[in-house]
Amino acid sequence: MAYFLNAPNAKEVLLADTAVSPAPPGRPLIKASDGMWSVTTPPYEPGTHYYGFLIDGVLTGDLGGTVVTDRLSRGFLLFEAIDVRGAEPLFTDTRQAPHGIVHIETFSSISLRREVRCFVYTPPGFTAGEPLPIVYLLHGDLQDASAWSSTGYAERIADNLLADGQARRIIMVIPDIGSPNRGTLSMDIVESYLISEVIPRVESTYLGGPAPERYLVGLSAGAAHTRYTGFRNPELLSGVGLFSGGGLAVGTVLEQLLPSL
């Protein structure tokens, strides 16, 4: 992979990426006489990779006027997402297959004390009232409700798995669990918001009543909220999923952290 960056006044430029860079601070670029910096890395494996540049110690994204990558949400240390293709399609590709619909529900939250958005994916051919399982998918810190769709490609993955016969028909619900500036909210606030607002609203709107199966899944900060809300309310859920977070410090006793268990 070849990278180029026009920064004629910079003294040092490093490439930081998730694929082949050495340990921090990163892989150095070489400056040409015209002020263009460049570096060529070993080949990337097929898939989605992330990168950014350290320009005189300041981490930034791609400065080009024609950026051709997807850009990650504000707050991430590596800013750009780029797909590297091989012989087979990526599981995140938009393929020629039946597609579901991503609905955006906007409502006034009492718990969060602001207007919120909630993304709801319904599978191809869904009709209101179809008794489908629902997966509540919680985003990470520094993200918002759009993250699982804009950079997580959740609906693309669901469409592709359904087309390949590798998944059940489900509804995915992606609520906003952050502050207005994508900060972290307390566990109690998010628990109340999910149980008293998001779940009743979504299930009455799309199913006409409680879901036959209900799952809570989270990434990073969302995993911590999943652990807290899920373990305190097991009667409401068929299962929980924790990814890249939600773990406990060594020596922590779960029953002491959550006395209600």
pLDDT, tens digit, for every residue of 150-159? 777 899 999 9
For residue 186, the SS3 value is: coil
CATH topology of domain 2-84: Immunoglobulin-like (2.60.40)
Please give the radius of gyration of the chain, using alpha carbons only, rounded to the nearest integer.
Answer: 21
pLDDT at 26: 85
pLDDT at 234: 93
Positions in the chain whose pLDDT score sits under 50: 65
Tokens found for residue 205: 């709107």
pLDDT at 143: 79
pLDDT at 191: 96
Q: How far apart are CA 227 and CA 191, in angstroms?
A: 10
pLDDT at 196: 97
Name the residue among 36, 33, 17 with its Cα closest to residue 25.
17
Name the residue among 56, 81, 84 with its Cα closest to residue 70.
81
**DSSP letters along 244-256, please?**
S-----TT--HHH
Helix (H) or strand (E) holding 136: strand 134-138
Question: What is the DSSP secondary structure assignment for residue 234, as one 8-state letter?
Answer: G
Given this chain, do its domains 2-84 and 101-257 carry the same CATH topology?
Answer: no
To which residue do tokens 């040092």 refer? Answer: 12
Superfamily of domain 101-257: Alpha/Beta hydrolase fold, catalytic domain (3.40.50.1820)
Q: How far apart are CA 119 and CA 69, in angstroms?
A: 23
Write down the domain spans for the chain. 2-84, 101-257
Please name the amino acid found at residue 18. T
User: What share of residues in the chain are helix, strand, coil (percent, to 5)?
Assistant: 20, 30, 50
Beta carbons of 244 and 165 less than 8 angstroms apart: no
